[in-house]
Amino acid sequence: MGHSRHTGRLLNAVIFLLPFAAAIVCIGIGRYHLSPLESFRVLAAAVTGGEVEATAWSVVINVRLPRILLALSVGAGLAVSGASFQSLFSNPLATPDTLGVATGASFGAVMALLISDNLLTVQFFALAMGLLALLVTCTISRLNGKSSIIMVVLAGIVVSSLFEALVSLMKYVADPEEDLPTITYWLMGSMSKATLKGIAVGIPLIIAGILILFLLRWRLNILSLNEDEARSLGVNVKRLRLIVMAAATLVTASGVSMCGQVGWVGLLIPHAARMIYGSDNRKIIPASICLGAAFMVVIDTAARAATAAEIPVSILTAIIGAPFFIILLRKTGGAKL
């Protein structure tokens, strides 16, 4: 018993430290290589005001640090949103785009890209359209003043398809030489345009959404019960669902607004956490945050360092995520998913 508890604590510590370790190692990887110790010295100098080599400072602080911070927040946000939705809908295949939020945010960003190259404009339009997608989904799902889970999911599918069609329409009318390549590349997901100024707007929103879902993690276990049992435990099921959906929407729309659509993270990472901790959301939610952050940092580093030309992030997440998910399905037979 004592040995098992010690092993569990060690595993928790490893998972908690994983994002920090990934960030320190990956921030030094690239054409200008730095060892983890050198990277740590540069980051420490940024806090303490110490002196370091000018080139190392410029590469780490101005170029790589914004990407690392964005990857950490987006990875953690998408993973915890996926875990929350899977519990909320009692559906192991639920993702951050179940309610059409990601495609709605993509449509907003594409509209902004046709108007302006300003990153803050893109973020505003993406967040606004993501929230609009949630509002439309909730409105459609209401039947006789009530909204069931199955109606919410179906409405989300419809809204997602609608916004996908609108994105295709925007691509069709875009200038094929100037606007279309930019839109296409952005939709495939990339952290390449991350700046400290840009992420200062979006990351606080992601952190706020993550914090809300983290604080509600024990209540997500109650959602696996039927509504009468949940009410008997003093839980307002309708309000809890709305809060979870709003927080996950805030995270998803903010992430999409800064780096485009990134698939598989919200589906894959929660299942990996579930393989380790079972079905207890009190452990799955924190594990998803840490594993998602570390996974996204590693993927983004591979995207920018593997070849001379940067690979879109969503391509790598699909290449890695799809085979892993197939292995997971075959291993569990779908029983634990």
Residue that has been written with the tokens 């439309």 in this structure: 136
How far is 130 from 242, CA to CA, in rounded Å? 15
The most confident of the ranges 34-38, 96-100, 297-301 is 297-301
In eight-state DSSP terms, residue 62 is: I
- For the cut 90, the answer to whether the pLDDT of residue 182 exceeds it is no
Q: State the Cα angle at 276 between 25 and 99, rounded to 5°.
A: 85
Q: Given this model, what pLDDT does residue 145 score?
A: 63
Mean pLDDT of 239-249: 88
Q: What are the tens digits of pLDDT across the range 9-20?
A: 899 999 999 999
**150 exposure class (CB count in 10 Å sphere: 0-12, 13-18, 19+):** exposed
Q: Is the pTM of this model over 0.85?
A: yes
Q: Specify the 3-state DSSP secondary structure of 84.
A: helix
Q: Given this model, what pLDDT does residue 335 score?
A: 47
> Would you place residue 210 in the very low, low, confident or very high pLDDT band (cuts 50, 70, 90)?
very high
- For the cut 50, the answer to whether the pLDDT of residue 91 exceeds it is yes
Mean pLDDT of 21-45: 89
The most confident of the ranges 123-132, 217-226, 283-292 is 283-292
Q: What are the tens digits of pLDDT across the range 129-165?
A: 988 998 999 888 887 666 677 888 888 889 999 999 9
- One-letter amino acid of 273: A
Q: Given this model, what pLDDT does residue 230 score?
A: 67
> Would you place residue 51 in the very low, low, confident or very high pLDDT band (cuts 50, 70, 90)?
confident
